[in-house]
A and B are shown apart, each in its own frame.
Chain A
Amino acid sequence: MKDGRAPSPSFPSEGGGSLSRGLDEVSPPPTKTGEAGKAVGIETIGMTMRFGNFTALDDVSIRVKPGSFHALLGENGAGKSTLVKCIMGFYHATSGNLLIDGFDGDVKDPKDAHAKGLGMVYQHFTLVPALTAAENLVISRADVPAVIDWAAEMKALTAFMDAMPFRVPLGEPVHRLAAGEKQKLEILKQLYLGRRFLILDEPTSVLTPDEADEVLGHVAALCKAGELSVLMISHKFREVTAFADEVTVLRRGKHVGGGKVAELSHQDMAAMMMGDAKPADPAPRAETTGETVLALTGARAADRSGLKQIAIETLQVRAGEIVGIAGISGNGQMELMEILTGQRALAAGGVTVHGVPYAATRAEERRLKVRYLPEEPLQNACAPRMSVAENIGFRSFETGRAKPRFWLAPGAMRRRAEALVADYKVKCASIDSPIASLSGGNVQRAVLSRELDGDVDLLVISNPCFGLDFTAVAEIRSRIMRARNSGTAVLLLSEDLDEILELADRVLVMADGSLVYECTAAEADIPTIGHHMGGHA
C-alpha cells in the first residue's frame, strides 16, 4: 500500500467508525465454510473518495460478478488501494454505493465487511510468525473459546484442509514456512473464516513464478467452482492474462478502461495504465568486455537463523557486465549482500575487488570504488530523519582535500546535493526536508544519485525497484544500464525475475544459500530458472 498521498491510518489497523463496533453488528451470519457455490459478487457505483482537496477516487464503478476473477491494474497512486479500502470499510466513500450480491452493502467498518463475507489478503503477511499455522487460524476466528481444545480443533482443521485444493502444514510455526506457503495460508485463512469475496493485494510479489502459478491456479479454480470471487491488485500482466477473467484499469483515481482479459493485449493494458506518460526508454546495451572486478571464492558464512550455511564456491563479476542473482526471498540473498557490505563475517573463503582482499571498510570502498544500493534504502542506506542534502553527502562529506575534513563544508554539500537532485529528478519539497518524507521512488533515486556519483567500479544492488511504479522503475533500470555501459561491474540481487532478465548479462540462481544455476541472458529460460529457484532441480 504505497499510495502515499492518502492521509490514511496504517493499513491493517481498523480505522474509522470503530466506536460503534459491537457484537450486534455481526448479525448477518457469515457463510459457512465448505458450502459450495456461495461466491459473493460486489459492485461499486460511482464511488468517489476525497481527502480534503485531493480526489483519490473519482466516480469509479466496477462490477465483480459472483465467481469471477477480476484484476485491478494501475500505477502507484492510481487509487487502487483507496478503492479496496472503501470496499472493505477502512474508508467511508465520500459518495457512491457498494452493492453486495445486488443489495446495498452498507459496510460500516472492516469487521462489518468480514461479517458480510468480504475478506482481504494484504501485500505483507498478517500472520503471527511465532504461532503455528493452526494457532493462526484459530485465533483469527471471532469466537475463540476461553480454553482451546486442541485435539478437536486439529480434527476440524484437518477436515477443512482436506476439502481445500491446497494445504499447509498445520503444526509448523509460520516463520518457518516458505513465502508461498504463507501466502497460501493467508488465502486459506480467509476461506476458513467464511469469506467468499477476496481482495488480493499483489499476492505474488514474494513468490517464485512456479509458486505464483500454483497459488493463483488454485484460486482461479475456486472461482470457477463458484466458491469465491476475487478482486486482485496486480502489476504483472502475465498473471492477469493467465488467470483473470476481467480487468479494470485505474489512472489518477479514474476508471480508464477494462473489460474481458481475453480481448485485451498487454500493450492495451499498459497504454491504459500509463496514459500519456512515457517511461524512459530502456538504455541500449553496449558491447563491453572487462577484467574481473569482484571475486568471491569458497565463501562460507552462517545465515540469519544461524542454523544454515551460506556457501558460495565462486562468484565473479567483470567490468561492464551485469550479473543478476535470482532467487526467492530468504534463500541467502540478504546474507550475500551483508557479506559484500562487510556486515556479516565470513567463516571461510574471501572477497577480492580488483584482486585485492576486500573487507568493505570505508577506506577500501573509496579506494576500490565500490558502491551499494541495498534493498529498502530508506532503512538500509539512509538516516531517515536527516535531510536529503545530508543523506546525499554521506559518501563525500569528509573528502575533497588531502586530509579528511574535520569541519563540514555545508555550502559544498548543498551544491552537490542540488546538482544531484536535479540530475536524478528527485522530487522533494526542499533538499533540507527529511529524506523520510520522500516517496519510495524518490528515496531510491536520491540514494542512487549518491552511489553513482563519481567513478564507480563495482555496484552491488539489491531489489532496486521493489514497490516502485513504471516510470520510476524504467528510469532506475536505465541508470543501472548506463553505469554498466560505462564500465561498472554490477551485481544485481533481485526477487523480480523480469528485472533480472531485462538487465542482466549473466543470470545466476540462488537457492538454499548457494548459487545453483548459471546461464547467459540469451540462454535464459523462465521455467528452468523457476525450477532452480524452487530448489527442485
Chain B
Amino acid sequence: MKIAVFIKQVPDSAAKIAVENGVVKWGDAPLVINPWDEYAVEAALQLAEKHGGEVTAFSMGGDSSKEALKHALAMGCGNAVLINDAALAAVDAAGSARVFAAAVKKLGDADLAVFGKQAIDSDTGLVTAMTARVLGWPALTLVALVAELDASAKTIRVERGVEEGRQVVDSKLPAVLSIIKDFGEPRYPSFMGIRKASKAEIGTWTLDDLGISAPDAKVSWPELISPPKRDVTTEMITGSSPEEIANTLADKIITEGVL
C-alpha cells in the first residue's frame, strides 16, 4: 500500500497568541507538528505496518516546516516532501486541497491520503473533505478506528466519531481519511528514528513540479482581531460550611438567569 500523510507546522498549543500590526505573534513558543496530525501519522504507520507498504509525509509551507517533516520521519515515515512555493503564501483551504490532491496524484498509486482532524492555527477542518472531492475519492472524516482493510480487494471499514456516537462505514479504496484522538496515542520518535531523520534529505516540490498553477484564493482574511477581553468581576464565595457555600453559590447562579 502507498499512503500519503499530510502534516502542518503550527505554534505550540500552549502559545499565547496575539496580533501585532496585523500579524499573528506567538512569542517565543516553539513551532511543532500540529497535534492532530500526530494521530494521522500514527494511523498511517500502523496501517502500513499491518498491511505492508510505505508512508510518505507531506507538508506545505516554508523551510521551517521541514522540522515537522523530520518529526514524521523520526516517527517512522519512509519519505518526506516539502511543498514550498512563494505563490502559496495566501492559499486558502480549497487551494490547499487542490495542491494536496496534485501531490497525491504525483506520488502515484496511493491507496490512502491521511490527515489530522484540523490544524490548531487556522482551525478550518475543511481540507480532508475538500481534498477527497478534488480527487473524486470518498472522504472518511473523523476516523476513530480502522476495523478492516483489504488492500487487494480495495475496501476499508472504519468507525467514525460523530455527534451521535460511532458510525460504521464501508468504503472503496482509494480514500481520504482524517483521524481523531480515539485512534490511539501517537508513538514517540525513537532514538534511531531521530538519528535517521536528522540525516534525511527532504525533497521540495514546487507548483511546477506538481503541474498546477497557483489556485485562486476564494477566501481572504483581511483583518485579524483581538477577541474582546472577558470583562468579569470575580466574586469569591465563602462560608462556614460546604452547605452554606453551596447554597449561596446556587442562589447567585440562579440570579444570573442562565438556568
Indicate, yes or no, whether A interacts with B: no
Interface residues of B (CB under 8 A from A): none
Interface residues of A (CB under 8 A from B): none
